[in-house]
Amino acid sequence: MEQYVIKGGHPLRGEVEIGGAKNAALAILAAAIMTDETVTIDNLPNVRDINVLLQAIEEIGAHVERIDVHKVKINGSFIRDVVVDNEFIRKIRASYYLIGALLGKYKRAEVALPGGCDIGSRPIDLHIKGFRAMGADVDIAYGHVTARAKQLNGTHIYLDKVSVGATINIMMAAAMAEGKTVIENAAKEPHVVDVANFLNSMGANIRGAGTDVIRIVGVEKLHKTEYSVIPDQIEAGTFMFAAAATGGDIVVKNVIPKHLEATSAKLVEVGCEVEEMDDAVRVIAPKAPMHLQHTQVTTLPYPGFPTDMQPQMAVVLGIAEGTSTVTESIFENRFKYVDELTRMGANIKVESNIAIIGGVNKYTGARVNAPDLRAGAALVIAGLSAEGITIVDDIYYIERGYEDLDRKLRALGASIEKVSSEKELQKFILKVS
Ligand SMILES: CC(=O)N[C@H]1[C@@H](OP(=O)(O)OP(=O)(O)OC[C@H]2O[C@@H](n3ccc(=O)[nH]c3=O)[C@H](O)[C@@H]2O)O[C@H](CO)[C@@H](O)[C@@H]1O
Ligand SMILES: C=C(OP(=O)(O)O)C(=O)O
């Protein structure tokens, strides 16, 4: 089992390059099978979830050619099967996009129920409501979602909750349905816009992505394209908070600063300087962490503060002066890092969906478990700012969504190593002691 071992206390300095957005790339890879022509996708993050989805696409017959670790060519004309299931695909969330993609193209799909981080109950009722409204029969049995339609028809759908997954999934199916679909109360996240742009580059007719009403006129066929995925706002934000927690000064490159506005605003509230450039942001943190100031944050759909940044922000607030609150309004089980952080000296009380955080002077190193992807990243940040050695177990979760996190942090001056044995762990400890 691999672990991160971190010797805290080094302010991050220098430049870091951000990769492609995992949550955009996953949907785009699924959508790529909707044409029989070859699609080239660049700026993919080289992370576990992407590789799992590519394998699943290959297993149903699509040709996947790896140009390099960030670029693939996909040809969906060889697909012979619409049943998607293996032990890995069951663990990722974005498998659900294959329902929309296969249903749109072949009018039938059978896909294992999605997994993903255990951050709440995460139903897919809105996805199903959308497919049914387009005329599909949808059943869930034996751990599979089965959807079939003689013909998919455009429809008018109101999403009762703002859902990224349902918005994108319905948009994909509707791209090849008969007639016009209107999605109301749609999610506005940058990756929704990126998937719409990708589909449009294949000949789809989607308007309004990025607003809360998306209009799609179905087309009969989609065609080849070459596309580059947008930068990952969550990876970028994670580095920005890591700079804040360590009293650092970093330039985060290859980002779209507009996508980072909520994160930047919160960093300014806690006392950091944030400088926006064309495709980069610089974060300059106050030198001693306790010079950070308390604040309040509530997670909300975009353009609100992202739930995927909530644990990382909480770690920063844990070493800020005064009492802060973090309200999680999207997922009911996203405070699983609190017990771990408490073992590092944090003072956090959770009441319902609110974490009340009393700032402490510093964290102290401990052995902690990554309970999920972003909580794991948050514990790495805590380790970077802590006194002493922190060992983060279960980094499998972190690698679902971060490419080379340890290498990128080391390039910023952090003392962090990925180890896979007790011997390697002891060697690192000896080296840094
Ligand atoms: C692979 C991927 O892109 N994952 C992201 C996606 O997850 P995911 O697509 O699962 O999240 P949604 O935006 O759909 O969920 C938002 C809220 O709607 C609820 N809901 C959703 C669908 C549904 O059919 N019924 C329902 O009740 C969810 O339980 C949640 O409370 O968006 C989340 C919110 O930005 C992010 O945290 C995840 O990183
Ligand atoms: C929750 C996340 O991913 P998933 O939806 O794939 O579990 C995330 O990216 O933070």
Instruction: State how many domains the chain has.
Output: 2
ipTM: 0.99
141/210 same-domain check: yes
Claim to verify: residue 289 and residue 427 sit in the same structural domain: yes
Ligand 2 near 306 CB (within 6 A): no
Considering 202, 228, 254, which residue would you say is the last residue of a domain? 228
CA of 284 to the centre of ligand 1 (A): 32
Q: Are residues 401 and 273 in the same domain?
A: yes
Per-residue pLDDT of the chain in tens (433 residues, 90 and over written 9): 899 999 999 999 999 999 999 999 999 999 999 999 999 999 999 999 999 999 999 999 999 999 999 999 999 999 999 999 999 999 999 999 999 999 999 999 999 999 988 999 899 999 999 999 999 999 999 999 999 999 999 999 999 999 999 999 999 999 999 999 999 999 999 999 999 999 999 999 999 999 999 999 999 999 999 999 999 999 999 999 999 999 999 999 999 999 999 999 999 999 999 999 999 999 999 986 568 999 999 999 999 999 999 999 999 999 999 999 999 999 999 999 999 999 999 999 999 999 999 999 999 999 999 999 999 999 999 999 999 999 999 999 999 999 999 999 999 999 999 999 999 999 999 999 8
CATH of the domain at 144: 3.65.10.10
Co-location of 415 and 297 in the same domain? yes
Amino acid 1: pLDDT: 84
Q: 148 by DSSP, 3-state: which?
A: strand
Using the 3D structure, point to which of 228, 258, 276 is the last residue of a domain. 228
Of the residues 171, 195, 228, which one is the last residue of a structural domain? 228
pLDDT at site 70: 98
- Pick the catalytic residue from 12, 117, 338, 416: 117
Name 118's Cβ contacts closer than 8 Å, sequence gap at least 6: 333, 336, 371, 372
Q: Distance between CA 124 and CA 109 in Å, rounded? A: 15
Ligand 2, atom 10, residue with closest C-alpha? 308
Angle at 395 between CA 390 and CA 401, to 5 degrees: 125
* Calpha distance 327→129 (Å, rounded): 29
Position 289 scores a pLDDT of: 59
pLDDT, position 90: 94
User: Are residues 266 and 219 located together in one domain of the fold?
Assistant: no
The vertex-337 CA angle with 331 and 339, nearest 5°, equals 125
Percent of the chain with pLDDT over 90: 97
Task: Tell me how far the alpha carbon of residue 373 lies from the centroid of ligand 2, in angstroms.
Answer: 7
Hey, which residues does 74 pair with through a beta bridge? 39, 64
Q: How far is CA 145 from CA 57, 103, 110, 175, 364, in A?
A: 17, 11, 6, 20, 46
Q: How many angstroms is it from 22 CA to the middle of ligand 2?
A: 9
Q: Are residues 138 and 49 part of one domain?
A: yes
304 and 338 in a single domain? The answer is yes
**Does 260 share its domain with 399?**
yes
- For helices 373-385 and 233-245, the axis angle rounded to 10 degrees is 30
Angle between helices 233-245 and 22-32 (to 10 degrees): 170
Which atom of ligand 2 is nearest the CA belonging to 307? 10
- State if residue 117 touches ligand 2 by the CB under 6 angstroms criterion: yes
Distance 97 CA to ligand 1 centre (A): 12
Going by the annotation, the residues of the binding site are 22-23, 93, 122-126, 161-164, 308, 330
Site of tokens 């696409």: 57
**Candidates 48, 95, 119: which one to mutate for ligand 2, based on the most atoms within 8 Å of Cβ?**
119
Termini Cα distance of the chain = 23
In the chain, count of helices (H) and strands (E)?
14, 24
**Could you tell me which residues are beta bridge partners of residue 206?**
216
CA-based max dimension of the chain? 67
Ligand 1 atom nearest residue 331's Cα = 31
Domain ranges, residue 33: 22-228
Element (H, E) at 7: strand 3-7
Instruction: Specify whether 353 is located in the same domain as 300.
Output: yes
Q: Which tokens in the block code for residue 202?
A: 């294949």
Give the number of residues written for the chain: 433
117 is catalytic: yes
Is residue 53 within 6 Å of ligand 2 at its C-beta? no
Inter-helix orientation angle 190-201/164-175, to 10°: 10
Q: Among 114, 22, 102, which residue's Cα sits nearest to residue 61?
A: 102
Q: Are residues 7 and 30 in the same domain?
A: no
Nearest atom of ligand 1 to the alpha carbon of 93: 1
User: Minimum-distance ligand to the CA of 375?
Assistant: 2
Same domain for 10 and 26? no
Cα 287 to middle of ligand 2, angstroms: 32
Q: Are residues 256 and 389 in the same domain?
A: yes
**Residue with tokens 């950091």, as numbered in its chain:** 272
pLDDT in tens, 250-279: 999 999 999 999 999 999 999 999 999 999
Q: What is the pLDDT of residues 15-64, one digit of tens each?
A: 999 999 999 999 999 999 999 999 999 999 999 999 999 999 999 999 99
Phi-psi region of 122 (alpha: psi -120 to 50; beta: other; left: phi over 0): left
- Residues with beta carbon inside 6 Å of ligand 1? 23, 26, 93-94, 120, 122-127, 161, 163-166, 187, 307-308, 330-331
